[in-house]
Chains A and B, each alone.
Chain A
Amino acid sequence: MSEFENTIHTICESYGGDRARMMDIVRDVHEKYGCCSGKAMNLIARGTGAHRVEVQSVVTFYAFYSEKPKGRVVIRLCNDIVDTMFGIEHVARAFSEELGIGFGETTADGRFTLEYTPCIGMSDQAPAALINEVVVTSLSSDSVRGIVRTLRESGDPQKLVRRLGDGNNAHKLVRAMVQNGLRKKGPVVFAEMESGNALRKALALSPVEVIRDIKTARLRGRGGAGFPAGMKWEFTRAADGDRKFVMCNADEGEPGTFKDRVILTERADLMLEGMAIAGYAIGAQEGIIYLRGEYAYLRKFLENVIENRRRDGFLGKDILGKKGFHFDVRIQLGAGAYVCGEETALISSCEGLRGDPKTRPPFPAQKGYLEQPTVVNNVETFCCVARILEKGPGWFVEMGSKGSPGTKVLSISGDCNSPGVYEFPMGVTMAEVLREAGADDVQAVQVGGPSREIVGPEGFERVICFDDLATGGAIVILNSSRNITEMARKYMDFFVEESCGYCTPCRVGNVLMMKKLEDILDGKGQLSDLDYLHDLAETVKTASRCGLGQASPNPILTTLERFRPFYEKLLRTHPKNFDPSFDLRAAVAEAEGLVGRKSAAIET
């Protein structure tokens, strides 16, 4: 065996040749060789018993994996809407100029690759970039020159981190320049905690009583959908399976969301306590944290938290002396795919597959990870679980609104004086949120990211909760200078890019909407195009297979509904009812070139 073959073989062996660990295997190959070549894929297929095409489908699906070699330093500049609001074009130009390459290109010496990436969860310190695994925030065209110089000299992105962020960002296992921006601590997630308190109380109850407490607290999933957590747990507990699993969705990819990053940094213990309680309640012994690839810089830190909890008897065998209650957790890293935040796609990814959503039913509660009953909850939900067990469901329901008790952690960014993370009681009005964030000039607020809705001033008395303004946490504020239709275009661009391509309404429909929107923005739209957009949006919403496609038309639908004049002023009417977007000259240009004569029929 050659050394290459040996290395790949060893990597596969280190995961027991288990094809369900494909994400880790491919990742390790990347770390070693900078890409996963065709040869490597052959060897992985052999080493795991997977088909070659299954390996390739993983390598080609995820943005952070690649068949072809990339630069030793990959610079991924975040091009989320908030980054574009704060001067990303200057930063992008500076990177291009300094490196002498365009986006999507690699320098001739193989040292640098320059790419764009969607939201990396740093909207409150935008523009930001991922340089390999290192997060670099608050970029400007000036700082870019220094960054490129440092990288040229040392080749080590970690050298870019000169000033460490606050809290655990400065921990020796994190050492990131990221700032928590934690501006409002609430009683549920960010209050002080003592590890083990909640778990001890849970273990004094029976599993059924734990679920009853969660149901009494009327806890709803904090990822955004708001499904009752207790009900989910009850289904999973009742389902038949040899093994059961608790999964923590730490794949927050909804543009403008970064609250889980801060929870993971400051309250990982609370979250893990909640996971262990879930394990006890549903009868699971295994837990997985699916951590988005963008947050890989937190991995060692989180592994250390897990290790400490094992040492303290909060994870492992016979937890806190409870005979027969075993529960342990591992981290599964993602690799840059928004759709994996959808729970069934997240499960696919954990199983070592493309991040395709699965057909439901069966729901994960019946057949989830490895076809076994699985609970998937958000980072914040597990924190709520621990606090409910610690302080009692009665304490929890006293906060928040009737349908949505408790608090909600919001990540606020955009045009305001104090962007950052806020824990508000559920039921707070948008006006109050805006006031605390120091936003005085507000044209609109994108609530819950592009998947949800945009709200104008007439909606500022609405309240944050699952029955009104539902959000997984994203609040992006737009002042009166921002272009609403341009924002819709950027968000559609995002969905076109992130659609997994499995179902036609989402794969094709989003592209068609995007094209029509571009026509309108280019001044080539007509009134009937708005109806077309609306109808197409409704079709995509109704007919798509998973939450991504069902939500992807929302940037268009909600801006059309609430900001229609912005579209109308761009529209044209053609005096002869011709379509203004059709350009005959452009349509014949190619043929003119091929046959070598100009069209005689077009009037000049």
Chain B
Amino acid sequence: MEKPKVATTSLAGCFGCHMSLLDIDERILQLIDLVDFNKSPINDIKTFTARCAVGLIEGGCCNEENVHVLQLFREHCDILISVGDCATMGGIPAWRNTLPLKECLDEAYLNGPTVHNPSGLIPNDPELPLILNKVYPCHEVVKIDYFIPGCPPSADALWAALTALLSGKPVDLPYELLKYD
């Protein structure tokens, strides 16, 4: 039987959740036996080539490109999982949500104490995706089926959730796997 396909992406995240996924160590060999990776930074496949069973989303949406990627994932994946606190709640990038966008950009590109920007311009290359008025958690943009909390979720939590999902069993995430202090 053909192996189910998994896609992953990091939107407004720090790749920490992907690092945590790699932290499953030698179990990654088992994972490869269980699934094929499609579009993902892990194998550097840039575009979807087939319909996927599962999409793992790291990070929320801070710009229009994030939205397009997330929508693309929704269209190509049967199940979408928000992985980590940024995808689930916006996380650290969402701190800017309390400030007007102009203040954020001015601080980052014009007024910040370490800024050296003689042109006095805010970067505006057409290649740069436009930034959103605030950072959105993924479930405010598309339907999300499951959430795995954590910053990042531990490798064991990701492993437990993924293997349960792939084997069609109810996921058992004991308290220790979701406790972070």
Chain A residues within CB distance 8 Å of chain B: 526, 528, 574, 576-579, 581-582, 584, 586-592, 594-597, 599-602
Contact = CB atoms under 8 A, between A and B. Distances in A.
18 contacts: A528-B143, A576-B75, A579-B139, A579-B140, A581-B140, A584-B64, A587-B64, A587-B67, A587-B132, A587-B134, A587-B136, A588-B133, A591-B101, A591-B130, A594-B101, A597-B126, A599-B130, A600-B126
Nearest to A588: B130
Given A584-B67, A601-B64, A602-B64, A576 B74 contact: yes
B62 to A, nearest CB: 10
A150 B26 CA distance: 85
Contacts of A589: 133
Contacts of B130: 588, 591-592, 595, 599
B105 interface: yes
Given A578-B74, A594-B105, A588 B64 contact: yes
Given A528-B143, A579-B141, A582-B140, A597 B124 contact: yes
A574 B74 CA distance: 12
B96 interface: no
A582 B74 CA distance: 14
A595 B124 contact: yes
B171 interface: no
B143 A579 contact: yes
- Scoring A576, A582, A597 by chain B CB atoms within 10 A of each residue's CB, the highest score goes to A582
Nearest to B121: A595
Interface in B120-146: 122, 124, 126, 129-134, 136, 139-143
Sorted nearest first, the 10 A-B pairs with minimum C-beta distance are A577-B143, A591-B130, A587-B132, A595-B124, A588-B130, A590-B133, A591-B131, A582-B141, A578-B142, A590-B101
Contacts, number: 68
A582 B133 CA distance: 12
A601 B130 CA distance: 9
Nearest to A577: B143
Nearest to B128: A595
Contact of B132 (A528, A578, A591): A591
Interface of B: 64-65, 67-68, 71, 74-75, 101-102, 105, 122, 124, 126, 129-134, 136, 139-143
A579 B134 CA distance: 16
Contacts of A597: 124, 126
A474 to B, nearest CB: 36
Contacts of B75: 576
- Scoring A578, A584, A591, A597 by chain B CB atoms within 10 A of each residue's CB, the highest score goes to A591
A526 B139 CA distance: 12
- Scoring A528, A576, A586, A594 by chain B CB atoms within 10 A of each residue's CB, the highest score goes to A594
Nearest to A587: B132
A594 to B, nearest CB: 6
A577 B124 contact: no
B101 A601 contact: no
A495 B105 CA distance: 36
B30 to A, nearest CB: 30
Nearest to A576: B75
B132 A588 contact: yes
A587 B124 contact: no
Contacts of B132: 587-588, 591
A304 to B, nearest CB: 52
Nearest to B129: A601
A584 B130 CA distance: 11
A590 B132 CA distance: 8
Contacts of B65: 601
A577 B75 CA distance: 8
Contacts of B134: 587
A572 B23 CA distance: 41
A579 B138 CA distance: 10
B51 to A, nearest CB: 14
Contact of A582 (B101, B122, B124, B136): B136
A578 B131 contact: no
A576 B71 contact: yes
B68 A591 contact: no
A595 B133 contact: no
Contact of A594 (B122, B139, B142): B122
Contacts of A599: 64, 130
A574 B71 CA distance: 12
A15 to B, nearest CB: 40
Contact of B102 (A587, A588, A594): A594
- Scoring B67, B68, B102 by chain A CB atoms within 10 A of each residue's CB, the highest score goes to B67
Contacts of A594: 101-102, 105, 122
Contacts of B68: 601
Contacts of A596: 124
A577 B143 CA distance: 6
A595 B105 CA distance: 10
A252 B114 CA distance: 57
Contacts of B67: 582, 584, 587
A565 B71 CA distance: 30
Contacts of B101: 590-591, 594
A24 to B, nearest CB: 38
A597 B134 CA distance: 18
Contacts of B102: 590, 594
Contacts of A601: 64-65, 68, 129
B131 A579 contact: no
A587 B71 CA distance: 15
Nearest to A602: B64
Contacts of A592: 130
B140 to A, nearest CB: 6
A578 B143 contact: yes
Given A579-B140, A582-B142, A588-B130, 5 more contacts: A576-B142, A578-B74, A582-B141, A595-B122, A597-B124
Nearest to B105: A594
